[in-house]
Amino acid sequence: MKARPLQAAFTSAITFALGAAVPVVAVALVPEKHLIPYVAGVSLVFLAALGATAAKAGGAPISAGALRVTFWGALAMAVTAAVGALFGVTT
């Protein structure tokens, strides 16, 4: 099988844009006082779904893929929030 870098790049760009749209839609629909937990929750749910989908496509255990992607996504959110708090830029 020959590598297809343009197809891979296009697919990556589309999936990234669709994944980024999910929290943006949550921002548009959720009241401001509930914004942070809803966006974090929706993002983690979709990260789990994407992890499961990727695992299934790659022939790996679905639960392990979902857990791995969700864990690292949650860790990234926590580190981002901690850095924001450290520099005083949180709401």
- Reported as a single tens digit per residue, the pLDDT across 35-86 is 989 999 999 999 999 889 888 888 889 999 999 999 999 999 999 999 999 9
The pLDDT, as a whole number, for residue 1 is: 67
Q: Say whether pLDDT at 2 is over 80.
A: no
Domain count for the chain, please give it: 1
Q: Say whether pLDDT at 87 is over 70.
A: yes
CA distance 71 to 63: 12
Instruction: Assess if residue 91 is contained within a domain.
Output: no
Number of other residues whose CB lies within 10 A of the CB of residue 10: 11
pTM for the whole structure: 0.77
The pLDDT, as a whole number, for residue 7 is: 82
Instruction: Assess if residue 48 is contained within a domain.
Output: yes
- 41, with CB counted inside 10 A (0-12, 13-18, 19+), is middle
The pLDDT, as a whole number, for residue 62 is: 92
The pLDDT, as a whole number, for residue 53 is: 86
Full domain range(s) for residue 49: 5-86
CA distance 28 to 38: 11
Instruction: Assess if residue 30 is contained within a domain.
Output: yes
Q: Please give the structure tokens belonging to residue 53.
A: 């989908």
Confidence band for 30, pLDDT divided at 50, 70 and 90: very high
